[in-house]
């Protein structure tokens, strides 16, 4: 009998999501609420941060196992509600790294499992901007950026005090969340008395100045960072310190970047996808040169985009939902009026987790979702309808849906699970 790998008395009670084909599964302990997973070789249960199986020493990873999960798309049920302390303020974003849930509210950032809050960070009046994740053989760290500071939370020891890695001077404020390469930490900050923005790093200070708008930094693999401005996409290579850039021009076709839609990076194809005001574009990273290609899809101007682990591009916009392949060809599309039924575009980015994605819509004051199987999106879950339009998008991970909830000003996280096996 396999047991929860965390320390407590009764260890035999857990919910399991199993892929019957290869025996891989992610589990949630019903006693302690921690997420853990099975070794695909020997079936031993391992903690979410494990890099090697505690029984047979095979190299393992939660994200790999999550990618292989099979879910039952027919129905879902409410698992539990995680209440937040009364002084937290509204939930702004939900993220998950390595089996932990990060709940960022107006006043705080909480690290939790399914049952309880394990650690917290107080912003003391600062405005949270975002988070990023670093994992190496010796480190599992989450960086939380506010408009004043960059904090580091050590996931290997949540009792450790949160570390401040950087603090902006009084005359500046950070405008985009920090991202990391193997050797440095990068962010964008603005001087209060001018329109100038600076792309900076911890080790080397300022790299470049910009006068117009900049989108949040985009990581490209281990050592590349993309900086998107209104007129071009710039690539910073942290290994040699070089910048290169490209505008949306190809032969007679030219376009300007739609800065309302965050670009995405495809690691396998070594390419960036971004929307111009006319078309979707792919930027190929050749040998030291960026090359722009217009793709077939025309813009509506209100796109939200994300990319899946296998390089599919998910687009949601006012005229429906789309799954595109890496050439920009539409593989599947659904008119938002029909799927989820009778709902309108809610301006939220589609989400992906392993072989599944969610698209959401809005109907009156309710949020409406479905979970879709990426390889055959005509297989989808029951419609999930949540009353009271939420302050932020729900998070979909490990076959669970995490939904922010507010009742008479008390904030909580409602957790739903998709039942049984697919």
Residues lying near Zn ion in the complex (CB under 5 A) are found at: 4, 6, 29, 31-32, 39, 41-42, 44, 53, 55-56, 58
Nearer to Zn ion, 4 or 218 (CB): 4
Both structure tokens of 345: 């575009």
Cα–Cα distances in Å, from 191 out to 13, 128, 198, 209?
54, 18, 8, 11
Q: How far is the CB of 2 from Zn ion (least distance, A)?
A: 11
Give me the phi and psi of 67, to 5 degrees please: -65, -25
For the chain, how long is the longest CA-to-CA vector?
A: 70
Give the residue from 257, 260, 265, 326 showing the smallest Cα distance to 296: 326
Closer residue to Zn ion, CB minimum distance, 44 or 189: 44
Rounded least distance, CB 137 to Zn ion, Å: 18
CB of 40 to Zn ion, least distance (A): 8
Phi first, then psi, for residue 178 (nearest 5°) are -70, 145
* Cβ-based nearer residue to Zn ion, 4 or 307: 4
Helix (H, G, I), strand (E, B) or coil at 358: strand
Least spacing, CB of residue 299 vs Zn ion, in Å:
48
316 sits in which H/E element: strand 313-317
Q: Which is nearer to Zn ion, 6 or 210 (CB)?
A: 6
State both tokens at 319.
Answer: 């005229």
Burial class (CB in 10 A: 0-12, 13-18, 19+), 157: exposed
181: nearest Cα among 207, 210, 209: 207
Q: Which helix (H) or strand (E) holds 35?
A: strand 35-38
Q: Which is nearer to Zn ion, 113 or 131 (CB)?
A: 113
Nearest distance in Å: CB 403, Zn ion: 23
Comparison of 2 and 147: residue with beta carbon closer to Zn ion: 2
Q: Give the DSSP H or E segment for 63.
A: helix 62-67
Cβ atoms of 34 and 47 closer than 8 Å? yes
How far is C-alpha 295 from the geometric centre of its chain's CA atoms?
A: 25
Of 10 and 87, which has the nearer Cβ to Zn ion? 10
Shortest Å, Cβ 7 to Zn ion: 8
Considering the complex, what minimum distance in angstroms separates the CB of residue 155 from Zn ion? 17
């Amino acid at each position: 009998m396999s047991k929860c790998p965390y320390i407590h008395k009764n260890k035999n009670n857990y919910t399991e999501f199993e892929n019957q084909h290869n025996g891989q599964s992610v589990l949630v302990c019903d006693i302690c609420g921690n997420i853990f997973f099975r070794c695909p070789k020997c079936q031993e249960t391992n903690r979410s941060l494990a890099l090697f199986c505690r029984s047979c020493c095979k190299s393992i990873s939660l994200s790999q196992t999550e990618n292989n999960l099979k879910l039952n798309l027919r129905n879902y049920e409410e698992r539990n509600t995680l209440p937040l302390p009364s002084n937290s303020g509204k939930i702004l974003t939900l993220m998950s790294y390595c089996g932990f849930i990060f709940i960022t509210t107006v006043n705080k950032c909480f690290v939790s499992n399914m049952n309880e809050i394990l650690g917290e960070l107080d912003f003391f009046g600062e405005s949270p901007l975002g988070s990023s994740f670093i994992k190496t053989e010796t480190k599992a760290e989450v960086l939380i950026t506010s408009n004043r500071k960059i904090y580091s939370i050590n996931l290997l020891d949540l009792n450790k005090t949160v570390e401040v890695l950087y603090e902006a001077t009084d005359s500046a404020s950070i405008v985009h969340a920090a991202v990391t390469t193997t050797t440095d930490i990068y962010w964008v900050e603005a001087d209060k008395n001018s329109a100038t923005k600076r792309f900076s790093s911890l080790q080397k200070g300022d790299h470049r100045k910009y006068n117009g708008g900049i989108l949040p930094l985009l990581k490209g693999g281990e050592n590349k960072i993309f900086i998107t401005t209104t007129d071009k996409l710039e690539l910073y290579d942290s290994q040699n310190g070089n910048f290169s850039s490209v505008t949306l021009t190809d032969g007679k076709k030219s376009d300007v970047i739609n800065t309302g839609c965050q670009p995405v990076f495809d690691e396998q194809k070594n390419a960036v996808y971004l929307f111009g005001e006319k078309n979707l574009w792919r930027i190929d990273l050749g040998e030291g040169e960026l090359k722009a290609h217009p793709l077939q899809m025309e813009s509506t101007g209100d796109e939200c985009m994300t990319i899946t682990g296998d390089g599919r591009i998910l687009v949601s916009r006012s005229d429906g939902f789309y799954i595109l392949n890496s050439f920009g060809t539409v593989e599947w599309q659904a008119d938002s009026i029909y799927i989820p039924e009778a709902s309108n575009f809610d301006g939220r980015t589609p989400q992906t987790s392993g072989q599944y994605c969610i698209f959401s819509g809005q109907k009156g004051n309710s949020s409406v979702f479905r979970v879709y199987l990426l390889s055959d999106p005509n297989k989808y879950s029951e419609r999930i309808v949540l009353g009271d339009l939420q302050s932020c998008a729900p998070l979909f991970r490990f076959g669970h849906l995490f939904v922010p909830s507010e009742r008479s000003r008390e904030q909580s996280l409602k957790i739903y699970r998709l039942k049984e096996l697919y």
